[in-house]
Amino acid sequence: MLSITTKSPYAIQALTELARSGNDGPVPIAELARRREIPIQFLEQLFAVLRRAGLLRSFRGVKGGYAFAREPATITVLEVVELLDGQLGADASGIFAQAAAAAREVLAGVTLAELLEREERAAGSVMYHI
């Protein structure tokens, strides 16, 4: 059916935060978890899956952490969702298959780099009036 668990939104948030760090080297997972208020143990499990899938690289040691193995502009939201939650709409039929196809199309059309741009635009558009 159409099932997206909490894994995918948490991973997308953390990956967007990692993209925000740019190419400044590996970012400790504890820092990503703190910035996005995600339980670190949960994020470690998610990042392990993404590392094995080739989206992330991990580095050990004092300067260790995670970095992208691929450019964020090449990683779609759909790819992350399906790595963590399985194929979206795999067993759907009828109207639910149509809904799954629509959701897959939307998620396939957005990359992590685009999500970061959206966040930055939204943060810059806040106006304060006195």
Percent of the chain with pLDDT over 90: 78
Q: What pLDDT does residue 3 have?
A: 84
The values of phi and psi at residue 46, to 5°, are: -65, -45
| Per-residue pLDDT in tens (0 to 9) along the chain, 130 residues | 678 899 999 999 999 999 998 877 899 999 999 999 999 999 999 999 999 999 999 999 888 999 999 999 999 999 999 999 999 998 899 999 999 999 999 999 999 999 999 998 888 755 555 5
Lookup: tokens for 107: 């998620």
**pLDDT score for 124:** 77
89 in the Ramachandran plot: left (φ > 0), alpha (ψ -120 to 50) or beta? left
Q: How far is CA 105 from CA 43, 98, 110, 125, in A?
A: 26, 11, 9, 28
Domains of the chain as residue ranges with CATH: 7-123 (1.10.10.10)
